[in-house]
Structure 1
């Protein structure tokens, strides 16, 4: 028999399979990935550095849906807002990856390159180096928290008849099905306004 035209196992297939498992059950193990691919666990380890390596493949697969063009040729705050919206949409498609990825250091080169773009954008805008990571982390928290919220029920406060919370009940009735989107818009707008003000009054902001 001739050699197969396509490798039976590669990093792309490992990442895709791990993402399937996380989407289904919220977690994965390397042996589970191997079983689903029909290979030995040792074969997976030939391509990745254990569980941590698979997590970075997951990160790459989810973040490849973020449009890098949002960070080009526009004012920093417009770019950051557009990037945040694309970033949120990418993770909203895979909300079960969020707890795992938020607690693991970012190592994937393609993902680091995108954060490098954001850091460069902020530095060029005049943010002091000491403010760049707080701003990036703030965007991460807003985006990932909201992406996770998008998978929650629209009605998050279970107000039963007779419960003495009339103000909360009225607020919940008024918001309708767009609670997560409106909360994201409000929080992102407030954060960007704060950053604009921070830049305006920063001694290093030139």
Structure 2
């Protein structure tokens, strides 16, 4: 019997399968991944360092959709805004992965490289070193919260009796376009205004 042209198991297939499970259930286990791939659990451990290793594969897979080259374009604030929009889109595609990825340490080299580029861009712009990580973390909080919001129903308020909450009903009726996109751009503009002021004061 000839050997298969393609290995039965590799890191890419493990990542794809684990992400499929997370997209469906919001969690995964190594035995679940192995079962879906049709292999023994021990076989998965030959390719990754346990569950934590798979989490980092997921992080790399989701983050690979972020256009990190935006950090190199234009003024620092324009670059940061473009990176934020791409970051949001990448994670909005897999909202159930967000709690998993935000509660485990970042180890994946390709993801750490994006942070290195963001840090370098802020330092080169003149930010004081103690301000750099708070600026990045605040942006991530904004981005990831909005990515989760994108996965929510467009109408988050169900008014069975509009007469009981007339001003809320009017405000909801006045929204034009995507409330999530508008809220994100409003928050991003406010964030950037504060960060520009922080830079001027440093």
TM-score when normalising by structure 2: 0.96
Give the Cα separation in 2 of the matches to 1:134 and 1:68.
19
Corresponding residue for residue 10 of structure 1: 10
Unaligned 5+ segments in structure 1 are none
Unaligned 5+ segments in structure 2 are none
Match runs of 1:132-147 below 5 Å: 132-147=132-147
Query: Would the alpha carbon gap of residues 162 and 185 (structure 1) be closer, same or farther in structure 2, given more than 3 Å must change?
Result: closer
The Cα of 1:163 is off from its aligned counterpart by 5.1
Tell me which stretches of 4 or more aligned residues in structure 1 moved more than 6 Å. Answer: none
The Cα of 1:92 is off from its aligned counterpart by 1.0
The Cα of 1:176 is off from its aligned counterpart by 3.8
2:78 maps to 1:78: yes
The Cα of 1:3 is off from its aligned counterpart by 3.3
With 108-117 and 157-166 compared, the bigger mean Cα shift is at 157-166
Report the secondary structure of 2:160's partner residue: coil
Match runs of 1:37-56 below 5 Å: 37-56=37-56
Report the secondary structure of 1:65's partner residue: coil
The Cα of 1:73 is off from its aligned counterpart by 3.5
Corresponding residue for residue 24 of structure 1: 24
Give the Cα separation in 1 of the matches to 2:177 and 2:23.
24
The Cα of 1:162 is off from its aligned counterpart by 4.8
Report the secondary structure of 2:164's partner residue: coil
Give the Cα separation in 1 of the matches to 2:76 and 2:162.
49
2:117 maps to 1:117: yes
Please provide the CA RMSD for this pair.
1.2
The Cα of 1:4 is off from its aligned counterpart by 3.0
Give the Cα separation in 1 of the matches to 2:127 and 2:75.
13
Contact 2:162 2:169 in 1 (8 A): no
Q: Deviations over 1:142-172 (max 9, x none)?
A: 1111011001111112222155222211111
TM-score when normalising by structure 1: 0.94
Query: Would the alpha carbon gap of residues 173 and 162 (structure 1) be closer, same or farther in structure 2, given more than 3 Å must change?
Result: closer
Give the Cα separation in 1 of the matches to 2:184 and 2:73.
24
